[in-house]
Structure 1
Amino acid sequence: MSAAKGTKENPWQLKTPPQSSDFEMYKDEKDGKNILVCTVGKTVLHYDYRCIADLHAMLKAHGDWMELGSADEQKPAKEGTVEAWGRSENNPVGGWYGLKKGFRGRFGMYVPPLLEEIGLAEVEHNPRNNRMRAL
Structure 2
Amino acid sequence: MNMRATVSAVLTALLFAGECMADSGLALSGRFEYRTDPTSLEMLGGLVCFYPSAESAQLLPRAQTDKRLAWFCFTNDMESKKLLDIPREAKEGSCGYRGEAAVQVTKYTPHAGEGDGFDTAILQAVSNISQPRTLPCE
* More strand per residue: 2
Q: TM-score, normalised by structure 1?
A: 0.27
TM-score by length of structure 2 reads: 0.26
The one of the two structures with greater contact order (alpha-carbon pairs below 8 A, sep at least 6) is: 2
Higher Cα Rg, which structure: 2
